[in-house]
Amino acid sequence: MKTDTKVLKLVRKTESASETEAASAEAKAASADFKGAAPATQPALSPKAVPHEETKSPVVTKIVSQSKTPQAKAAFQPGRLAPAARDQSEYHGLSREQMLSIYRTMYLSRKIDDKEIQLKGQNKIFFQISGAGHEAVLVAAGMVLKPGYDWFYPYYRDRALCLQLGMTPLEQLLSAVGAEKDPNSHGRQMPSHWGHKKLNIVSQSSPTGTQLLQAVGCAEAGYRVKLIKELKNRVQNFHADEVAYVSLGDGTSSEGECWEALNSACNLKLPVLFLLEDNGYAISVPVEVQTPGGDVSKLLENFPNLHIERCDGTDLLESYAAIQRAVQHCREGKGPALVHAKVIRPYSHSLSDDERLYRPDEERTADSERDPVKRFGGFLIEEGITSQDDLQRIKDGVDREVNEAADQALASPQPTPETAKLYVYSPDVDPCAKEFDTEKGAELSGNAGTMVDLINRCLHTEMARDPRIVVFGEDVADCSRDTHLEKVKGKGGVFKVTANLQRKFGGARVFNSPLAEANIVGRAIGMATRGLKPVVEIQFFDYIWPAMHQIRNELALMRWRSGNEWKAPVVIRVPIGGYLKGGADYHSQSGVSTFTQIPGLRVVYPSNALDANGLLRTAIRCDDPVLFLEHKHLYRQTYNKSQYPPDDFMIPFGKAKIVREGTHMSIITYGALVQRSVVAAKQAEQQGISVEVIDLRSLSPCDWNAIVASVKKTNKVLVAHEDSLSFGYGAEIAARIAGELFEYLDAPVHRVAALDTFVAYAPQLEDVILPQAADVAKAIQELYSY
C-alpha cells in the first residue's frame, strides 16, 4: 500500500477556529459512526450488534490492490467521497465509516503519545513509552476481537489496541500523571501498563514475557470449565469461543517463558492469539542478535496446532485480514495462532533511551516512510474514501479531545499517602480472622495419619467441596495416560501427597504440567484471574527459582498493582528442607526469608500433620496467594502424626502455638526445628532449666503477639531455624525483639541455624551443617548462664 507523498501534503492544518468548527459539523454529518470523543467502535463486529456465530463465517483473504481501478479514478475528485455503492469486499468488508473510525483511533493513539512526550518535557509526568508505529495492526486486532468477551494481555506498546477496545484518552492520560482514578493501576504503575476490568484487559507489569504464560492460563481456564461439569453454573463470563489475546515484541520472544507458553498452548490446542509486534529492536539489540535467522515465526513453523500469519503490521488492511484468519482459527477450536507483524518504531524505545546512539539516519528515515498513520491517511484520500479536508477535521477533533483530556488528567487528584498499603492483601477475606479458627475443640477420629496423609485428606475434602479447585504440577497426577490408569498403581506426586486425586476427580482437575516451574505458576495466575482456584505443586523448593519472576513480580503484586481490580489467589505447595541423608545441596534448601520479604504473599510452614491439614484448608479458602511449605523430613515422622480432623478444620494464619510451656527462656522456631527444640528443652529440664517452645506455624504473617507475651514472661530468647544463620528469617525476629522488647530482655537474643554454606551429600557433613538438637541444647545452656 504505497502512499504517494504528494497526497500526504494535502493533509493540512485548518487556519482558523471558525473554519474548524464548521468543518467539525460537516464531518459529523458525513459519518454516522463518528461520535466526537467516543473511541473507535466496530458496529459490524461487536458482540452486541452481530450474532455470535457470524464470527465464524469465511473471511475475505484478498489483499487490497495498491492502485485504484480506472472506474474509481474517474469517479474520484479531490474533496469528494467515493460512491457509497462501491464494492466493499475490496476492503475486507470494512465500510467507509469503519475505516474513518479506524483512522481516527490510529491518529488518536499517536496524538496521545505525542502529548505524553510533551508533558514529560514539561516535567508534568514521570515516564513515557510509546506505541508509535504499531497502530495499524493493533487497531485491526481490536476490530476483530471483542472487549468484555475475549481476554487481553497486552504489552506496553498496545495503546492503540486499548483505545480500540474502548479505553478513553482520559483513562490513558490519568495513568500518565499517576492519578488515583487511573483504571489501569490507580497511580501505582508506570504509564502504558494496561489494565481495565470492564474490558477484560488483565493488569500487566514491566517484566517482558511474564504475560504470555498468564494468557495461556486464562485460555486454559475456559478449556477446563468446558470439561468440569460441576462448574457449569458456578462461574461467570466464560464463552464457548472466547479468545485470549497476548502480545509481545521481537525481543520478548527470546524469553524462555515465551516458548513455555507456546508449548502449553499448542499441547492443549488453546485459543490463544499471539501477536508478535516485530519492530526490529529490543531497545538497542537488533532482531538478528536476538533470534537465529532473525525471524521468530520461521522457527515456529513446525509447532503442531499453531496457525501462523505474517503481515506488514503497518498496513491496516493486510493486518486486518491476517488477524481475522488467525482469530477464526482460534474460535473454531483448532488451537493457538501467531500473527507475526512487521512494524516500525519511529520513536526511541522510551524517553529514557536515545535511538540515535545505535540506529543510523538512513534506517530511521526508511522506517518513517512506512509510518502506519500516514500510510492509512494517504490511502483513504487516494482511494476516494475521504477528502483531505475531512481527514484534517478528524485530526483537529482528536487534537482538541487529547488536549482537553490532558487538562482533566493533570487536574485529577493523586492517590493520598494513606492508601499506600491498601490491597497488599485481600480487603474482604482475612485468613487471620476468627472465622478461620476452628482449632479449639475439634474432634479427631480414625487411625493416626502422617503429614502426607492429612494433607492428602485435606485436598480430597476441599476438592469435593469446591469444583473450582484444580491441582497440577510435575508428577502430581496418578497417570497422565488415562488408558493406563486402571493398569497401574499411580504416581500421585514424588512424595505421594496427591495420590488418588486424579482417580477421584478426573484428569480435567488433576493433571501433570511440563517440567517448567514458571509454566506452572504463570498458568495458575491466569486461571486464578478467571475465578478458578489452582493448588499447584513445585516438586522441590530447590527448583522454585525459575518461577521466581512469576511469584515475585506477578502473583504477589497482582492485587496491589491493579488497585484491587484483579487478584490471583493461588496456593503453591512446596516440599522443602533437609535432614534427608543424601538430599545434598539440590534437595535440601530452605531459603524462606527470600519469600517472607515479599509483600502480598502469605508464607505458611507447618511442623506436624494436624497443623498441615488445618493450615492448608485456610490457604485454599483464603483470597490471597499462599506459599505452603511442607518439610520433606516431616512427611512421615511418627512423632507428628494425628488422627483426622473434621472437614471444616482450619487454623488461622498468624496464630503461633505454644508447644511447650516454660519460664526461664523462650525458643521461637518453626518447621523441623520444632521437634529438635522440644528434645533439647526436655534435656534442659533435667538440669532445672524451664524452656518454652513456640511454633510460629505461619511465617508471613507472623504471630508477633505470641512472641511478645513469651518474651515478657521468660526474658530470654533463642531463635532456631534451618536456614543459614546470616541474613535469614531469624535475624529479622531477633532484630525486632531487640528493637521493641529490649527492656524485657535479661540477655542478648541468641540464634541457632545452619552454617553459612550449602548442605552436603555426605551424612557426617550434613549433620554438621544443619542445626541439630545438640546445637539447640548447647545454646540453651549458654543463654541460661548469661
For residue range 736-749, what is the model confidence (pLDDT) as tens digits? 999 999 999 999 99
Asked whether 501 and 463 are in contact (CB, 8 A), the reply is yes
24-to-30, 226, 273, 390, 398 alpha-carbon distances in Å: 10, 49, 38, 8, 11
Q: What are phi and psi of 594, to 5 degrees?
A: -60, -35
What are the grid coordinates assigned to 715, written together? 526474658
Closest to 98 in 3D by CA, of 42, 168, 152 = 42
Cα dist from 295 to 262, 281, 340, 360, 737, whole Å:
16, 12, 9, 22, 58
Strands 657-660 and 691-695, by their bridges, are antiparallel
Strand partners, 752: 720
Look-up of cell digits 513456640: 694
Q: For 209-295, where are the alpha helices, taking DSSP H only?
A: 210-227, 256-267, 287-290
SS3 of residue 460 by DSSP: helix
The candidate with the shortest Cα–Cα distance to 521, out of 489, 557, 491, 477, is 557
Contact 320, 45 (CB under 8 A): no
Asked whether the beta carbons of 459 and 502 are under 8 A apart, the reply is no
State which amino acid sits at residue 649. F
Which of the residues are catalytic? 587
Question: What is the per-residue pLDDT for 89?
Answer: 60
* Residues 349 and 283 sit within 8 Å (Cβ to Cβ): yes
HSE-up (13 A, CA, CB side) for residue 96: 19
| Ranges of the chain whose pLDDT falls below 70 | 1-89
Residue 233 zone, left/alpha/beta (φ > 0; ψ -120 to 50; rest)? alpha
Backbone angles phi, psi at 353, to 5 degrees: -125, 150
Amino acid at 118: Q
Structure confidence at residue 33 (pLDDT): 35
Task: Name the nearest CA neighbour of 30 among 386, 505, 411, 524.
Answer: 386
The reported pLDDT for the residue numbered 90 is: 79
Contact 723, 693 (CB under 8 A): no
Q: DSSP label at 241?
A: T
- Which cell numbers hold the place of 606? 507447618
Task: Return phi, psi of residue 118, to 5°.
Answer: -60, -45
Question: One-letter amino acid identity for 371?
Answer: D
Cα–Cα distance, 705 to 720 (Å, whole number): 18
User: 587 with 580: CB under 8 angstroms?
Assistant: yes
Burial bucket for residue 713 (CB in 10 Å: 0-12, 13-18, 19+): middle
CA neighbours within 13 Å on the CB side: how many for 119?
A: 26
Cis peptide before 701 (omega within 30 of 0): yes
- Orientation of helix 210-227 relative to helix 256-267, angle to 10°: 20
What lies within 8 Å, CB to CB, of 530 at 6+ separation is 151, 218, 221, 222, 235, 237, 238
pTM of the full predicted structure? 0.89
The pLDDT of residue 483 = 87
- Alpha carbon distance 779, 424 (integer Å): 38
Residue 772: what are its φ and ψ, rounded to 5°? -110, 170
Indicate the Cα dihedral angle 264, 268, 273, 278, nearest 10°: 30
Among 177, 138, 154, smallest CA distance to 40 is for: 138
pLDDT of 43 reads: 33
Composition of the chain by helix, strand, coil, percent to 5: 45, 15, 45
- What pLDDT score was predicted for residue 355? 93
In the block, cell 516512510 appears at: 369
- By CB atoms closer than 10 A (0-12, 13-18, 19+), residue 381 is buried
- Whether 103 and 391 have beta carbons less than 8 Å apart is answered as yes
Number of other residues whose CB lies within 10 A of the CB of residue 6? 9
The pLDDT value recorded for residue 2 is 40
Strands 626-631 and 691-695: what pairing?
unpaired
